[in-house]
Amino acid sequence: MSYDAYIEELEDEIETLEQKLGERFLIGLSLGVIIMIVIYLLIFNIFIGGNF
């Protein structure tokens, strides 16, 4: 196996890893936003409910 072929194979693996990480990052980001909104709404409702 030549050096160039080895480097090309590594580059392909790095690209697929970057794609997987990107997908997971976007999923995590959207989940984080949803969780933050839910927690914010819960706290907001508790404070509003406690005042009235």
Distance between CA atoms of residues 22 and 30, nearest Å: 12
pLDDT of residue 48: 77
Higher per-residue confidence, 52 vs 19: 19
Looking at the structure of the chain, the number of domains it has is: 1
The predicted model scores a pTM of: 0.53
pLDDT of residue 31: 95
The tens digit of pLDDT for each residue in 4-45 reads: 999 999 999 999 999 999 999 999 999 999 999 999 999 888
pLDDT of residue 47: 80
Q: Any idea which residue has 């693996």 for tokens?
A: 13
Q: Count CB neighbours of 24 within 10 A.
A: 10
Burial (0-12, 13-18, 19+ Cβ within 10 Å), 32: exposed
Range of the domain at 34: 3-50
Q: What's the DSSP call for residue 1?
A: -
Q: Which tokens hold the place of 44?
A: 């907001």
